[in-house]
Amino acid sequence: MTDPRRRVPRTDVLLAHPRLAEAERVLGRALVKAAVVAAQDRARAGEIEPEQVAEQAIAALPSSATTLRPVVNATGVVVHTNLGRAPLSQAALDAVATAGRSTDVEFDLATGRRARRGRGALAALAEAVPAAGGVHVVNNNAAALLLVALVLAPGKEIVISRGELVEIGDGFRIPELLASTGARLREVGTTNRTSLRDYSAALGPDTGFVLKVHPSNFRVTGFTAEASVRELATLDAPLVVDIGSGLLAPHPVLPDEPDTATALRDGADLVTASGDKLLGGPQAGLLLGSAELVDRLRRHPAARALRVDKLTLAALEATLRGPEPPVARALVADPVELRRRADALAERIPGASVVSCRSAVGGGGAPGVELPSVAVSLPESLAEPLRTGTPSVVGRVEHGRCLLDLRTVGPDEDELLLAAVHACTS
């Protein structure tokens, strides 16, 4: 009797299969060949028939060449760090696709000479914050603070309130970040109260700059006091303000959240912020302020190591100049409209109900701020299959129910969400 393993198709024959050949064009040879080999091994082990190898290889292929999977964010957290923070606008996504090709990112097409890198994104940022004399972009807000410390405080002191020695995501602490540059921290005040006098008493010939950090991921309440940017600007030392979450101008929904324009008008010499939080753009560290200081930052050798790529520059420019990004839309979403959408979805889902709920800003911004929202309520047992299905939908579990909060689901995602629920319940 002929060994059935001899009937397993050869690798070269399988790779020539029309659908596998097309997959190789999209996914690359390594991914396709790995799927083919895995299917051949299954056939040799007797798990599938040799005639099923091509079909099984095709079924095992990923939809793209990345392991990242698209997710419908139904958590109600507008800027969800674990889901990639700000989702980009379509304009920004289109800009990234354009930048993925050869571009004039550092080239003047008119003269044929080298040009300033990312000049379009920098111009857009400067236009968005006219109070800034200069602007620069690095790869995240931590990098922005790192560069400031390297330029303004090498071997010197950074004066900072004890109440602002914050820890950011994944265990990273701002004090440790700053100390890694060789600067020394001069802590002033107490955890809950720091005055202008505390800062003033700490200034001396070793002062590099005064740093004010917005504790954007927690709140201290009760018997508290802090020195304002306007007060700190009267001191005889450069003032750097880390606003963190990235508002460029005041926002009516977030009246207590600091913004770049106000900090500069109040006298900050430099402001640092994130690009992928409340701005709604790509991961980036924004530096805005004195033209002389920004130029010094830009020319420091470390600036090269911290610079952003052309994809980020393209997405940032499109975010600043293009239509309102998803984060901005989510912040001002009308609960009446959210309920209308939730009612329409619930009518098409057996056992679903509509509930009022509260959304969060997230991303280390506006701690304690709750946004009124509306969710589609489903049995808790659906949370896992929704999360692991295709498309993946991530909601939140509350009081034994899986809530799909529509504040963070775009209207264009309603049908996608509905299809995901039907796939889990059919």
Q: Judge whether residue 404 has pLDDT over 50.
A: yes
In the chain, CATH 3.90.1150.180 covers: 71-83+328-425
Tell me the pLDDT tens digit for each residue of 99-122.
999 999 999 999 999 999 999 999
- What average pLDDT does the chain have? 93
Q: Residue 217 pLDDT more than 70?
A: no
Whole-model pTM: value is 0.89
Angle, CA of 236, 241 and 247, to the nearest 5°: 150
Domain with CATH 3.40.640.10 in the chain: 90-324
Q: What is the mean pLDDT of residues 243-258?
A: 91
Q: What CATH number does the domain located at 90-324 have?
A: 3.40.640.10
Q: How confident is the model at residue 68 (pLDDT cuts 50, 70, 90)?
A: confident
- pLDDT tier at 218, thresholds 50, 70, 90: low
Helix axes 53-60, 18-27, angle to 10 degrees: 20
pLDDT at 9 over 60: yes
Fold of 71-83+328-425: Aspartate Aminotransferase, domain 1 (3.90.1150)
The mean pLDDT of 21-40, rounded to a whole number, is: 92
pLDDT at 222: 75
For residue 82, CA distances in Å to 85, 362, 394 come to 7, 10, 11
Distances (CA, A) of 164 to 243, 274, 334: 12, 17, 34
Q: How confident is the model at residue 1 (pLDDT cuts 50, 70, 90)?
A: very low
Identify the pLDDT of residue 216. Answer: 64
